[in-house]
Structures are given as C-alpha cells and as structure tokens.
Structure 1
Amino acid sequence: MYDNIIFDLYGTLIDIHTDEEDIAVWKHMCEFYAQHGVKYNPAGLRSRYKRQIRRAEQAMAKKRFKFPEIQILEVFEQLTLKKDQTPSDCAELTVAAAQEFRKASTGYIRLYDGVTDMLEQLKQAGKKLYVLSNAQRVFTFPEVQSLGIEGYFTDISLSSDFGAMKPDAAFYQQLLDRNHINPNRSIMVGNDAVCDVLAAKQVGLHTCYVHSNISPVDDADRDIKADIIMDEVNVPEMCRLILEDADR
C-alpha cells in the first residue's frame, strides 16, 4: 500500500495562469520601483530581467546537476540594487519586488475543485503527504499559505531551494532521503509525463499522471506508462483511485 503521496503543485493541485510578457506587468513594476527610488522604463526593465535570467541560467549550467534551477531572488536582487548598495542593503525590497511581480503577472490562481477535501481524506487515511515542485520559494510559499494547504504536508520541496528541478533524479532523491521515504510504498502525482512520471520511475516511485489544462502539449503524443492515468483533473476520482490502488 502507499504510505506516502508526493504531489506536484501547479497543474495538479493548483490551477494558475501567469503572463510575464504582458507589458502592463512591466509598467506596474516600473511604478513599484519608482516608489523606491529605482527608475526604469517598461521595455528596458523587461529586457534587463530576461538578461539577468540568461546570466543566472548560464552560471547554473556549470553546476553538477543535469537540470539546474536558478534562484529568482538573485535576479530581482540585480534589478533592485542601487549604485554603492550591497545585497543586504536591499534584501527586503528584493523580496517585495519579486512578490509584487508574481502578483502582477498572475491572471488567476486557485485550487482545483475538491483539493482540500482530498488532502483531508488522505491525511485521515494515515497517509503522509509531500510536495515536490519546480517552483520558486519566494513565489510559491505565499501562494500555498494563502490557499490554505500548507499544513497538510510533511515536507514541501521546491526546486529553487535545491538548485535542481524535475526531471533531475537528484531532486527526487533528496526528498526521499531527507524524509526516509520508501519509494516502493509511495506514489508521485503530477501533470507532466516527463517530470512527474518518467523521472519519478527513475527513483522507484509509483506514479499517477493527471492530464490538466496546463500539462505539456506534447504529452498527448506520449505513451505514458503510469500506474494511474487520468484524462482530466477530477480530484475526488484521483483520491479514490490512489486509495484504491493503495489497498491492493
């Protein structure tokens, strides 16, 4: 049976739409920065943001992981620093800027119907629940807290903290090792055939694939060999199938 259920977040438990290209987002961020004495124009700020992302990715490419993950706070630190400042001088503003950007670029964020009831039911059944997500802590933790689901999880593991992202097996393994999780008695639930199924199988996890509105487009062309396959997000059915499989 399954003792442990490991969830992806976005596209599995959380439905979200973001648009970082919208010029209105960058206009808003220019206004935010202007209030703190940092002047930009929208196109220039967007270009500098993308340039800092590329630099961060190039630096991380030299690290030991096959799929390295940048730390987005370091990007916003470079956008926020004024002349003659040190990172510690603007640490609070850096976090505020990153979170303001996330809010401005998010069209909507909500739990899929039935998620809270499912998590409650799984906990009542004695399961330990975990999160393994490609996500930035400065963005994701406030969202998880505001959606009211943080307390259901024994551990929330985010790629920005570890420095590698799914489908890197090392990202999976650190969660298993830190929490002494037996993969044979655990299942990974996610909406990405590569990141949440193929990668999870590399470390011996059982898998549940859920095709959601933000699953990768090319998943439709893949032969997905998960233990449980769902063609759409139906959270009550997902819960039933996980518990049913666990009882076999």
Structure 2
Amino acid sequence: MAGKYSTVFFDLYGTLIDIHTEENSEAAWTALRVALYREGAQYQDNEQLREQFNREVVRANATRTRTEWFEPDFLPAYRGLLQACWADGSIENARKVAWAFRRGSTTKFNLFPGALDFLEKLKARGLRVALLSNAQACYTRPELQLAGLDDAFDEVILSSDEGVRKPSNELFRRALIRLDVDPREAVMIGNDARNDILGAYVAGVDGIYLHTDDANPEVCDSAVCSLQGADYAGALDYIDKRLR
C-alpha cells in the first residue's frame, strides 16, 4: 500500500446527487422550444428542433480532438440554435435555454442524505476534494449551486470542458496533474463500475464503489471497497484507515 490519501475525487450524479433525467422526452424539448421562442428563436416543432440541435452539436465541436472517449460541449450548440434564427446568441442566453432544457428533462433531483456532511468531514481531515464528472458544464454548474455544492470542491473537472470523458485514462491524468497528486495518494468515489472505478484503477487510483443504481453490479471487482447505497459512513471509515 502506498502513502496516505491526500485527495478524494468524486463522481457527481448517482454518487452525491440522486437524479433522473429524460432527455428524449417531449416535455424536455418543448421546454427548450418555449425558452428559445422567448429569446426570439422560433422552431416549428420538436422534431425540427432536435434535428437542428444535433447539427449544431456536430458543427460546434468540429475542431475538437476526437478520441475513443470524446465528449462534446453542448453550450455552443445552444448558442447555434439561437443564432440559426438570428436571435441573440450570447453566452448568457445560451445558458438560459440550456438550463430550461435541463429542468424540463429532470424528474428527480436531490442530494443523497449526508452528502454535504461527508464532504465537510473529509475537508476537516485535511483532505482535498475534487469533482471529476462526466457532465455538461451548462447543466452541472447551475445544479451544483442548486444543491449547495458550488463551494464544496477544491477543483471541478467536467468532461464537457475537457473534451474527454471517463473511463479515459486521459481525463484521470489531467485531474491528477491539476491537483498535483500522486495517483497512489488519491481515491475515486463513484457509482459507475466502469467509468468511475475501472477508469480510476487503470490510472493507478484506488476506487470506492457505491452501489446506488441497480443497472450496475452490486460489487465492483476493481474497487478497493464496495458499499451498498450512498454509504458515506462506510467510505469515510475506509479512508480513515488510510490516514492512520
């Protein structure tokens, strides 16, 4: 076993935030279409809007490096939806309509009980905590504020900003460099056996697996610790053993 942990990387959705979204629902696309209309961009129906959005995603990310785990950034696509109708495509307006879509697609959103307390306890032990999430910044940054997590992390690393997503070793490498931490002194906490835990394992980082989603296995073989549900007490107990 290497040195003591100094840094804890966190997944967000399914790990700290209990969320369910339906991006393909008519309600989500109607909410976006209404928000665009309010900003002066009119689309005939949801089908036309979907087709234009897909074109804008491709166009907006055309110059980004494509890898196996490429992650597009949706915010420029929302700007493109506005500009395609000669509406004001400012960043502010793009964020506004993106948020309308996100809220329209979200059917459940809340912090898992004890999540904020867990982060505070880790910080009280002198550990740095960082968010490492497969996420769109235009959705996640407002949701961090909504959940009271906007000041909870020492660093926030999102796949849409980086152009690459977990389980890519490249994203973990960037996170380790950003925090200036040896992989042997870091631990990743997440609920996705492949993206969070196997990805961390390949990067030389320990993983604590929280089984919060029945779509994932109950136990993750590549984790140093597998727990049922959002068992922050169990995770803290394991981390404490590495601090002694």
Task: Give your verdict on TM over 0.5.
Answer: yes
What's the offset of the Cα at 1:8? 0.6
Q: 2:42–2:85: 8 Å Cα contact kept in structure 1?
A: no
**CA distances 1:159-190 after superposition (whole Å, capped 9, x unpaired):** 11111111111111111112211111110111
Percentage of matched positions with identical amino acids: 31
**1:12-31 equivalence runs, <5 A:** 12-31=15-34
Shift, 1:83, TM fit: 5.0
Do 1:129 and 1:155's aligned partners in 2 also have CA atoms closer than 8 Å? yes
CA contact (8 A) 1:130 1:155 kept: yes
Aligned CA distance change for structure 1 residues 222 and 65 (closer, same or farther; 3 Å): farther
**Aligned partners of 2:141 and 2:62: how far apart in 1?**
25
- C-alpha displacement of 1:57: 9.5
Structure 2, unmatched stretches of 5+, are none
Which residue is 1:77 aligned to? 79
What is the DSSP-based 3-state SS (H/G/I as helix, E as strand, rest coil) of the residue aligned with 2:36? helix
1:167 partnered with 2:167: yes
Tell me by how many angstroms 1:5 deviates: 0.7
SS at match of 1:220: coil
Bigger helix share: 1
TM-score using structure 1 length: 0.87
Q: Describe how 1:173-188 pairs up with structure 2 within 5 A.
A: 173-188=173-188
State the 1:195 CA deviation. 1.1
RMSD of aligned Cα (Å): 2.3
Moved more, 175-184 or 22-31: 22-31
Q: Which residue of 1 aligns with 2:243?
A: 247
**Count of matched residue positions in the alignment of Structure 1 and Structure 2:** 240
8 Å CA contact 1:2–1:187 kept in 2: the answer is yes
The 8 Å contact of residues 4 and 128 in structure 1, kept in 2 or not, is answered as: yes
Q: How far apart in 2 are the matches of 1:30 and 1:83?
A: 12
The answer (yes or no) to whether the contact 2:115–2:232 under 8 Å persists in 1 is yes
User: Partners in 2 of 1:5 and 1:174 — Cα distance?
Assistant: 15
Which amino acid is 2:128 matched to? K
One-letter amino acid matched to 1:188: M
* TM-score (structure 2 length as normaliser): 0.89
Residue 89 of structure 1, CA deviation: 4.7
Are residues 31 and 64 of structure 1, via their aligned partners in 2, closer, same or farther at CA, if it must alter by over 3 Å? closer
